[in-house]
Amino acid sequence: MDRNIAPTRSNLMKIKDELSFSRTGYDLLDQKRSILVSELLTLVDQAVDYQNRVEKALRDASEALEDAIMHMGRLKVANLAGAVGIESSISLGTRKVMGVQLPKVSTEFAGSGPFFSPEGTSMLADVAVSRYREALSLMGQMAELKVSIMRLSREVRKTIRKVNSLEKLVIPDREATVKYLTGRIEESERESMIQMKAVKSRMEREEGGRR
- CATH of residue 88: 1.10.287.3240
Report the pLDDT value the prediction gives residue 115, as an integer from 0 to 100.
54
Whether 2 is in a domain gets the answer no
Q: Structural domain tally of the chain?
A: 1
Whether 160 is in a domain gets the answer yes
Residues 157-171 pLDDT 10s? 999 999 999 999 999
Residue 107 Rama label (left phi>0; alpha psi -120 to 50; beta): beta
Whether 59 is in a domain gets the answer yes
Residues of the chain with confidence (pLDDT) below 50: none
Q: Which domain holds residue 194?
A: 9-203
Report the pLDDT value the prediction gives residue 31, as an integer from 0 to 100.
95
Whether 97 is in a domain gets the answer yes
Whether 199 is in a domain gets the answer yes
Report the pLDDT value the prediction gives residue 186, as an integer from 0 to 100.
83
Report the pLDDT value the prediction gives residue 119, as an integer from 0 to 100.
55
- Cα separation, 44 vs 62, whole angstroms: 27
Contact in structure between 22 and 166 (CB atoms under 8 Å): yes
What lies within 8 Å, CB to CB, of 153 at 6+ separation is 40
Whether 1 is in a domain gets the answer no
- Cα separation, 145 vs 34, whole angstroms: 19
Contact in structure between 57 and 135 (CB atoms under 8 Å): yes
Whether 182 is in a domain gets the answer yes
Whether 52 is in a domain gets the answer yes
> Measured on CA atoms in the order 18, 19, 22, 24, is the torsion positive or negative?
negative
Report the pLDDT value the prediction gives residue 80, as an integer from 0 to 100.
66
Report the pLDDT value the prediction gives residue 9, as an integer from 0 to 100.
85
